[in-house]
Structure 1
Amino acid sequence: MRLFFVPLIAAALVVVPGPSASAAQIRVTSLSALQSALDKAQPGDTIALADGSYSAGSALAIKRSGTAPAPITVTAEHVGKATITGSKTFSFAGGVSNVVLRGFKFRGGAPLSIPAGASHNRLSRNDFQLTTDGNWVTVNGDDTEVDRNVFQNRTSQGVFLQILGPSDAMAQRVHVHHNYFFNHQFAGANGGESIRLGLSNHQAYSAHALVENNLFEKADGDIEAISVKSSDNVVRYNTIRDSKGYIVLRHGNRGLVEGNLLFRSGIRFHGNDHRIVDNYVANSDGRAIVFGSGDEADSGPTSKLHDRPDRGTVAYNTVLGSSSVIDGDGGDFKPKDCVVADNIVQGTSGTLVTLPSGSTVKYEGNITFGGTAGIPSRPVDPKLVKDAAGLYRLAAGSPAIDAGVGSYPDAAKDFDLQTRTGAFDVGADEYFATGLTRVPLTKADVGPGAP
């Protein structure tokens, strides 16, 4: 066990035996003692701030790195019981790696940032409700993990979580999961996203980010709840409900949007070679999946215009709405060489699929019901039944069973994450008499108290 000697503040810092000879468990009861412990931290150390409210007038500088097997953990002694207020917050140095920041309530006026050059750090089980405008948390460092946090309750412009990177690249392999994004009520026209993954001038850069298993409720600060403005990202298994904001591939290419459960929300995409598969989208207002407008054929690396959807694949989704359930925003440049295949599209009236004239789209295997199809399809009742979680699934004897056509390997697992067998069933659900049944995420599944 290592012992720390801290002149003048010894009463505020208590060292207890660590789990090994090379790690310390350090309890502090003031911010000055916390900073002293941060300055001396070694791989494997855990520094715990006692319950209470602390006003930070200067940055809490994290300058020491852990290792992958022995990270440095900076934590509230009890999750949610140590509150940071004031004009400053934690500050990560540019080369810091393998540090976990966990369990704090942030209620001050300072945004939190992971800088470029800092890698393999983790923000976990924190509660962000700041008093400042702008972006509350920005991740510029590679391999950052953002998990089990809550971002909540704002009316000002700015995003809850921005993922960006250096000026000439994107942060790589950022993993955002099991977070709760709640109640963004900015009333302006633009700039109130829950997550923004890139910027227009980063659209050509690959990020390889993974955004999964997050819950969004009342994401009303922008029409984009998740705004993707970079390339080669995956957005999967999220739940969005009662929100104005959609999952939007606004700029960039080669995105995968898979297995999301959306209620009164939807998906919109621009750009090239996106795959929209196995999603369950129930938007009673219509416009569940939208081919975005094309203001130009192919966006340049810094363009802010809307890029035409090229070679996009929309396959094996269950899409429920009123009319214009799968829709297009038009523009001078229409969707080109796209595919709409093996979806269940069910509405209540009007034309169900309304892509603009001049679009070049291959349609195959789709089942439409409840309105005028608007495309070549099988206009037949898919026999959907509502399960205990409120999801409409295939019933035994549905004409969607074993009716998929074409080859779409991205849809090899259905929205329950079960492997499809034989000829795939049309829509997001592969019918199994028994087996796994996924349910929408709830607050118990995400945020600081999640498993």
Structure 2
Amino acid sequence: MFAKNFSFPLVVAVSLVLAGCNAPSNTTENTTKASSKPLALNEILITSQDQFLTQSASLKAGDTLVLADGQWKDFEILFKGQGTADKPITLKAQTKGKVILTGLSNLRLSGEYLVVEGLVFKDGYSPTGEVISFREDDENLANNSRVTEVVIDGFSNTDKFNSDKWVVLYGKNNRFDHNHLEGKNNAGVTMAVRLNSEASQENHHRIDHNYFGPRPILGSNGGETLRIGTSKYSLSDSFTIVENNYFERCNGEVEIISNKSGKNQFLNNVFFESRGTLTLRHGNGNLVEGNVFFGNGKDHTGGIRVINADQTIRYNYMEGLTGIRFGGGFTILNGVPNSRINRYHQVKNSKIENNTIINVDNINLAAGSDSERTAVPIDSSFSNNLVFNAGDQNPFKIFDDVSGISFANNLTNIDTQQEIAPGFSQTSNDLVRGENGLLQSASAQQANVGAPATLNPISKEQTGVSWYPKASPSVEFDSGDVVKVSSAAQLTDAVANATAGSVILLQPGDYSLNKQLQVKTVVTIKAAEPRSVTLYPMRSLTFEIEDGGSLKLDGLNISGSKSPDSAGNVLIRNTKLPTLFNYQLHINDTQITDLNVNHSAHVIDSGYRAMADHILITDSTFENITGDVLRLDKEQDDLGIYNAEYVTIKNSTFSNIEGAVAKIYRGGTDESTFGPHFRMSNSEISNVGGGKRNKTESSIFLLGVQQTLLQDNQFNQSKVVTIDHTVGEPRTQILDNTFIATPMPKVTETYAKGPSTAVVKGNNSK
């Protein structure tokens, strides 16, 4: 049923050329260790880059190059040679995990039968577009080679949208296994298989037992974790096997895996709380078998998206997936008639059988149907699948003609649409979680429906390396030390020296802030007693969130009455330089008033190329402000980039605001992202948006926001709420609000034809 594991040659013969000549930072210590631990026959200990160059000239088959423990800075390695299967030459760490490549470092392999193991890339980035590349240049590729037990941790270009790739496979018959990749923060696919020449097509690569650790939301296209092929070469076959890997919280964009070639196999992988889908974007004749998707109800977690011809999807398990649209739990897409190679080819002759789909919000059939995507699925089947949803919620969404999909012998507990109902039989709830961690139905197993009981998902511990820790949860607010302060000077020092998760507890009193506060880590500034503390900003900028910083304000009064008489004062801002790490900003039970000494004073002003995972405002008051509360509109180059994934406002009051409560902009036509999301509830908006410098003439301005909820708010004598639907299938709900001397919200459709798709109901206009 499932692909067998196979051995892989570890044999290498090689000549080596390296750039640079720096020694590792602890060479003396390494030499001492080496003398007390004899090397094996044909092992050569390398203690400097100069020595590496020298030894490369005399290597013979069977030799092993051993990099001494320590940090190797600015080390560009070219590992090159012609080996044979029975005489390996290996490049490895003296001690696995203790050879750290930092700064501007990378690794290139070129030749036959090369093996690399035990290295760590950290605290730097590649000076070229690839950290590990299975080629020297276009003409000199690596074949029959292996990279194993290598770690790449946060080795990201400091310019977030300067795209690069961490691992790129070229050539043929290469293996990438038991590696650990985590924390790619900049644009570019984490790992790619290239088919850009005949020498790299029909390659039979194997990618197995790797740990793909968390990848944060990029907020743009280009955040895939694994891509096989590109559109240009997508009609070529790759024959790549991707098996027994663990994808944990890989959230870069809507495609976790982007398959763009033919005859690949995706076997026995686990996707844990990862946003997006395994997407058969291009290429035909692929097999998706035995994969497990655990969404655990997390936002935008998805499963499998089917496009193109001759795809087989069987024996997979999907549970707790909430994704929508192209990122749904299971999606069959419409194609484009006579499609160009880079668009959407019609689904033909695809077999979807013996999958288990439990508590999945959306199974989308003929998805993406529009004036361009009119080629409905044909000659395909959906059979022997188990579909079960607690609460009898129907997950099937049908967007076009699905008569080209035959439905047969499926079991479900829900009432499906009439056009597919004959292919389903009703079943009772006999689901029991087995020892393998999966929900199983005895009656379904007896009927040969759903994933097999023998399906045993690989554990996280079985992937990656044993000597390097897997990802730990991100640092939460209020999780660290508590530091008490009672003066502005102490507050400045406490913020500068804060440790991750710390709480700076302000004693009652007034604090005149004549210095800018640089937020470098996750820190909370909290009043010891709610509203017993008043901060008086005395600089044009008060809080600057640096790269890696997040800020929470709790229980404070903040008055701008002592601010300098300057236009454009800002309370909270990111650095002006683009940031690599996403941040969070929470404001709770805080009163911010009198930012009105001069015009255009803003509360929160995003930096260019800055991304907030979540801006959360709860139980707070904003009053007498000459600018905007939230300025999240710096990305107006229409590249699909935006400044915040989630913006949530609850139980808060906004009055006498000349600008807008929020300005959020996400331009462009790309459909590869999830957000932005804007949710505002149980709040009061009075006299907002009327300032002459508010060019949007709106109390709230949302362009390109993908999900909007306005519920149980009261608008009084304020400007209109303006919502512009652009790409994707934006979802807007405007429910049970009251509009007093305020226009009803204006929702427009930039690209879609016809009336607005917004749900507007239960509102009261006075």
Q: TM-score range by the shorter chain?
A: 0.7 to 0.9
2:145 corresponds, among 121, 128, 142, to: 121
Instruction: Please tell me whether residue 198 in structure 1 is matched to residue 236 in structure 2.
Output: no
Name the structure 1 match of 2:413: 369
2:258 corresponds, among 227, 247, 253, to: 227
Equivalent residues of 1:214, 1:239 under 8 A apart: yes
Name the structure 2 match of 1:142: 172
Equivalent residues of 1:219, 1:244 under 8 A apart: yes
Local SS of the residue matching 2:331 = strand
**AA paired with 2:150?**
N
**AA paired with 1:90?**
L
Correspondence list, 1:282-361, <5 A:
282-285=319-322, 287-294=328-335, 296-297=336-337, 299-300=339-340, 303-325=341-363, 327-331=365-369, 332-348=374-390, 349-359=392-402, 360-361=404-405
Instruction: Please tell me whether residue 378 in structure 1 is matched to residue 425 in structure 2.
Output: yes
User: How many Å apart are 1:46 and its aligned residue?
Assistant: 1.3
Equivalent residues of 2:241, 2:265 under 8 A apart: yes
User: How many Å apart are 1:113 and its aligned residue?
Assistant: 0.8
1:268 corresponds, among 305, 320, 331, to: 305
Larger RCO of the pair (alpha carbons < 8 Å, separation 6+)? 1
Compute the TM-score of the two structures, normalised by the length of structure 2.
0.50
Name the structure 1 match of 2:318: 281
User: How many Å apart are 1:188 and its aligned residue?
Assistant: 2.2
Correspondence list, 1:36-435, <5 A:
36-57=54-75, 59-93=76-110, 96-107=111-122, 108-110=124-126, 111-115=131-135, 117-129=141-153, 130-132=155-157, 133-168=163-198, 170=201, 172-264=203-295, 265-285=302-322, 287-294=328-335, 296-297=336-337, 299-300=339-340, 303-325=341-363, 327-331=365-369, 332-348=374-390, 349-359=392-402, 360-372=404-416, 375=420, 376=422, 377-381=424-428, 383-395=430-442, 398=443, 400-403=444-447, 425-430=448-453
Distance 1:256 1:180, change over 3 A: same
User: How many Å apart are 1:355 and its aligned residue?
Assistant: 3.6
**AA paired with 2:291?**
N
Local SS of the residue matching 1:154 = coil
Kindly provide the CA deviation profile for residues 377-416 of structure 1, in whole angstroms up to 9, marking residues without a partner as x. Answer: 1011262211244310123xx1x2442xxxxxxxxxxxxx
The CA RMSD measured in Å over matched residues stands at 2.4
Equivalent residues of 2:329, 2:361 under 8 A apart: no
Equivalent residues of 2:303, 2:318 under 8 A apart: yes
Distance 1:89 1:352, change over 3 A: closer
Name the structure 2 match of 1:419: none
Distance 1:64 1:304, change over 3 A: same
**AA paired with 1:386?**
R
User: How many Å apart are 1:153 and its aligned residue?
Assistant: 0.7
User: How many Å apart are 1:269 and its aligned residue?
Assistant: 1.4
**AA paired with 2:236?**
Y
Kindly provide the CA deviation profile for residues 288-321 of structure 1, in whole angstroms up to 9, marking residues without a partner as x. Answer: 2110232x13544xx2112221111100000112
User: How many Å apart are 1:429 and its aligned residue?
Assistant: 2.0
**AA paired with 1:293?**
N
Among the aligned pairs, what percent are the same residue? 28
User: How many Å apart are 1:36 and its aligned residue?
Assistant: 2.8
Local SS of the residue matching 1:37 = helix
Local SS of the residue matching 1:444 = helix
Local SS of the residue matching 2:213 = strand
CA distance, structure 2, for counterparts of residue 75 and residue 139 of structure 1? 19
CA distance, structure 2, for counterparts of residue 249 and residue 47 of structure 1? 40
Equivalent residues of 2:366, 2:401 under 8 A apart: no
Equivalent residues of 2:268, 2:291 under 8 A apart: yes
Equivalent residues of 2:318, 2:360 under 8 A apart: no
User: How many Å apart are 1:333 and its aligned residue?
Assistant: 1.3
User: How many Å apart are 1:60 and its aligned residue?
Assistant: 2.1
Gaps of 5+ in 2: 1-22, 158-162, 296-301, 468-766
Distance 1:402 1:298, change over 3 A: farther
Name the structure 2 match of 1:441: 458
CA distance, structure 1, for counterparts of residue 446 and residue 224 of structure 2? 39
Equivalent residues of 1:325, 1:345 under 8 A apart: no
Local SS of the residue matching 1:136 = strand
| Greater fraction strand | 2
Equivalent residues of 1:336, 1:361 under 8 A apart: yes
CA distance, structure 1, for counterparts of residue 320 and residue 366 of structure 2? 16
Q: Please, which moves more after superposition, 123-132 or 279-288?
A: 279-288
CA distance, structure 2, for counterparts of residue 181 and residue 305 of structure 1? 28
Gaps of 5+ in 1: 1-8, 404-424, 431-435
**AA paired with 1:131?**
S
CA distance, structure 1, for counterparts of residue 431 and residue 134 of structure 2? 46
Equivalent residues of 1:373, 1:379 under 8 A apart: no
User: How many Å apart are 1:45 and its aligned residue?
Assistant: 1.4
Equivalent residues of 1:288, 1:321 under 8 A apart: no
Alignment: residue pair count: 402
Kindly provide the CA deviation profile for residues 264-294 of structure 1, in whole angstroms up to 9, marking residues without a partner as x. Answer: 2300011000000000011342632110232
User: How many Å apart are 1:17 and its aligned residue?
Assistant: 6.3
User: How many Å apart are 1:326 and its aligned residue?
Assistant: 5.2
CA distance, structure 2, for counterparts of residue 161 and residue 140 of structure 1? 11
